[in-house]
Structures are given as structure tokens and as C-alpha cells.
């Protein structure tokens, strides 16, 4: 699927002189600029103990990483303040019933991929564990595509869910995750979020976020799912320039004032823990009505491309397994999500 965040250029972020290893705090230059206040080059150089030329070099590197850093007579300033996630606040704000059921919650300043981090440590991680990253440099999307995001501007995280049964019982899991995310956004005052089968969150057909589910364990069970999720909170101009289709961020949907990343993360953890437990107990059937309410393709003419060719038809919702139903010349076809691209015709 040609997802704007997942189908980006092959640009890779530069190395930064002030950049710490994964899991440590925000780099010094960004920490000084994080509030959004303007600071002059000489002051930054003095406080960092480096030359003004080195300050300029680091600013340019962070611009290449996707941050909007403005420069003017007052100095350098971030167009949007940065908010590193606060894990202690996330856990403390969860409803008590969710707090008892959630596993590990951790945030890293920088990771290759939150899903890769969970996969590396899956044997030692408890059920319903969450790994967030302020900056993810090798996030994965469907069909081998990449998710690209500026540091500490959006939300990217993965959740581990264990299942006693096998893969066959997990049909519709990505749809259920999408429903949970849409509900969490609504909880935070983000209106009008639709779901585009099988794994996109949209607002007026513009991409807001995406979901990728990766399975592991035994095919017949027990198994586990790593649910990777990315959500646009503040999309910089630099990032928009690298995307190849309409996209939107939470700030724009909310009229310019996005909820805090920590508040959004708290709502997402709460909704996902509940939804994934209910899915484990009863499958997709209990979520069919919620999907229909937010189905962004229902009744529309769509174009489907896959290994078996391409065709056009009318989207008719999803079946009991979460497969897409498409009316084609009087025939109703079911389309599974594996290696398939779907877009409005």
C-alpha cells in the first residue's frame, strides 16, 4: 500500500555530534531549544561549549532529520516545542484496572524500530508491554516500506500481545488495533478519524497514521503479535515534502492545538490493552460494528492491486474475519490484507 509515511524516499538521517546512544536523554542542542524559545548562536555556542560554526552544523543536521528550526534576528527556535514522553506520567494516569494489566512501558530517545526492539527482547517481555521511541530511524511499514518521522514530534510505538492460540485466530487484529487507536484519539479530542482498510488512520482521506502487525511464535499456538503504530502529531514542512500523498497531523485536525504526546500515549495504552484483551477473548466479531462506523472506504469505488493482478470495484465493508468485501461486476469478492494495495479509484 502506498502509505505516505511508509513509502518515503531512501533518505537516511545524518550522524549528529551531540547525539547520544538509544535510550538516553534528548541531545543537548535540542534540550536547549525544546521549549520553543529563541536562542542566539553565540549563546548556544557558549552553553554547549562549541563554536558557532558547530552550532550551525548541528542545526542543519536536525533540520535534515525533519525538525522545523527557524532562524532570525532573535536566533534559532523550534516551530513546535518538543515533548519527550514521560513514562512515569503515562503509567500513573492509566485507569487502575489497566495499570494492573499492562506490562512494561518504556521510552527510548532513539531506536532503529520499536517493533525490532520488542522482537529482540520478546522472550523476556511480559504480555501487554509497550515500547515507545522519541526518534525511530528504521521504522517498518507494510510490504517493506519505511516509516519516517522527525525526532520527538510524532508518536511511534509497538505493543506486545501474547495469544494461547495460533495465527488463524488473529484475522482482523490490525483492524481492531485501528479501532482502539481511533477511540484513543477521540478520547483526547481528536475528531473525525476514519479507518482505511487494512491499516491506515485517515482524516478526510489524508493519512494520519498507520499500523503494522508482525506475528511470531508457533503457527498453531502459542504465538504473539507485535503491533507497531505510528501517528502524525506535528508534521514539519520538511517531512511533508518527503511524502508522496495527502497527509495530516493531529495538530491540524485539532485546529492547531494538539493534545500532549504524553496524554495521547496514555489514552493509546489504555485503549489498546482493553481492545486486545477483548479480541483475544472473542475475535473480530465484537468489533465489527465499531469498524463499520469508521470505515473510510465503504460504498466507494476502489482500486485493488495484489500478486494476482489488479481490479476495480465497490467496497462493501468487511466480513467476519476482517477481510475486505468488494463488489465486482455483480460478484462479491473477499480480499485479505497480505501483500495487497487498496486505494480509492
Gyration radius (Cα) of the chain, Å: 21
Residue 1: predicted pLDDT: 28
- The question of whether 343 is a catalytic residue gets the answer yes
Q: What is the residue extent of each domain of the chain?
A: 28-78, 87-292, 297-344
- The question of whether 77 is a catalytic residue gets the answer no
Q: Considering 145, 161, 196, 207, which one is annotated as catalytic?
A: 207
Q: For domain 297-344, which CATH number applies: 3.30.70.2740, 2.120.10.30, 3.40.1410.10, 2.30.30.100?
A: 2.30.30.100
For domain 87-292, the CATH class is alpha beta
- The question of whether 57 is a catalytic residue gets the answer no
Residue 8: predicted pLDDT: 21
Q: Residue 149's closest CA among 321, 11, 289, 326? A: 11
Give the pLDDT of the chain (345 residues) as one tens digit per residue.
222 222 222 222 333 333 333 334 789 999 999 999 999 999 999 999 999 999 999 999 999 888 999 999 999 999 889 988 889 999 999 999 999 999 999 999 999 999 999 999 999 999 999 999 999 887 555 555 666 788 888 999 999 999 999 999 999 999 999 999 999 999 999 999 999 999 999 999 999 999 999 999 999 999 999 999 999 999 888 788 777 778 999 999 999 889 999 999 999 999 999 999 999 999 999 999 999 999 999 999 999 998 778 999 999 999 999 999 999 998 999 998 766 788 887
pTM over 0.85: yes
Q: Considering 57, 77, 325, 343, which one is annotated as catalytic?
A: 343
Residue 146: predicted pLDDT: 61
Q: For domain 28-78, which CATH number applies: 3.40.605.10, 1.10.10.10, 3.30.450.20, 3.40.1410.10?
A: 1.10.10.10
Q: Considering 142, 261, 271, 294, which one is annotated as catalytic?
A: 142
Going by their DSSP bridges, the two strands 129-136 and 105-111 should be labelled as: parallel
Q: Do domains 28-78 and 87-292 have the same CATH topology?
A: no
Residue 60: predicted pLDDT: 95
Instruction: List, in order, residues 6 or more apart from 343 with CB less than 8 Å away.
Output: 1, 2, 302, 303
Other CB atoms within 10 A of residue 174 CB:
23
Amino acid at each position: 500500500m502506498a502509505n505516505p509515511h511508509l513509502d518515503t524516499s531512501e533518505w537516511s538521517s545524518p550522524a549528529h555530534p551531540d547525539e547520544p546512544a538509544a535510550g538516553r536523554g534528548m541531545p543537548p542542542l535540542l534540550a536547549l531549544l525544546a521549549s520553543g524559545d529563541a536562542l542566539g548562536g553565540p549563546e548556544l555556542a557558549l552553553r554547549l561549549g562549541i563554536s558557532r560554526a558547530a552550532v550551525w552544523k548541528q542545526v542543519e543536521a536536525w533540520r535534515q532529520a525533519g525538525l522545523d528550526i527557524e532562524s532570525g534576528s532573535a536566533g534559532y527556535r523550534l516551530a513546535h516545542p518538543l515533548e519527550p514522553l514521560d513514562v512515569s506520567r503515562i503509567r500513573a494516569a492509566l485507569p487502575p484496572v489497566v495499570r494492573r494489566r499492562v506490562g512494561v512501558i518504556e521510552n527510548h530517545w532513539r531506536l532503529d524500530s520499536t517493533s525490532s526492539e520488542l522482537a529482540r527482547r520478546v522472550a523476556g517481555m511480559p504480555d501487554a508491554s509497550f515500547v515507545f521511541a522519541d526518534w525511530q530511524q528504521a521504522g517498518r511499514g507494510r510490504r517493506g516500506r519505511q516509516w519516517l518521522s522527525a525526532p520527538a514530534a510524532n508518536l511511534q510505538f509497538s505493543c506486545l500481545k501474547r495469544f494461547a492460540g495460533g495465527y488463524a485466530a488473529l484475522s482482523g487484529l490490525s483492524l481492531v488495533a485501528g479501532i482502539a487507536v481511533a477511540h484513543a484519539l477521540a478520547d483526547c479530542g481528536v475528531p473525525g478519524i476514519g479507518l482505511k482498510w487494512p491499516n491506515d488512520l485517515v482524516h478526510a482521506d489524508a493519512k494520519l497514521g498507520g499500523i503494522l502487525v508482525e506475528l511470531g511464535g508457533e503457527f498453531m499456538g502459542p504465538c504473539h503479535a507485535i503491533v507497531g503504530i505510528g501517528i502524525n502529531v506535528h508534521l514539519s514542512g520538511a517531512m511533508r515534502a518527503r511524502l508522496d500523498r495527502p497527509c495530516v497531523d493531529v495538530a491540524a485536525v485539532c485546529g492547531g492545538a494538539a493534545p500532549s504526546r504524553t496524554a495521547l500515549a496514555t489514552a493509546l495504552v489504555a485503549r489498546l490493552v482493553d481492545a486486545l484483551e477483548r479480541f483475544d477473548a472473542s475475535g473480530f466479531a465484537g468489533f465489527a460494528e465499531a469498524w463499520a462506523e469508521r470505515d473510510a472506504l465503504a460504498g466507494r469505488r476502489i482500486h485493488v492491486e495484489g500478486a494476482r493482478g489488479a481490479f476495480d470495484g465497490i467496497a462493501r465493508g468487511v466480513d467476519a474475519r476482517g477481510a475486505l468485501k468488494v463488489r465486482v461486476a455483480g460478484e462479491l469478492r473477499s480480499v485479505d490484507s497480505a501483500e495487497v494495495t487498496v486505494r480509492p479509484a
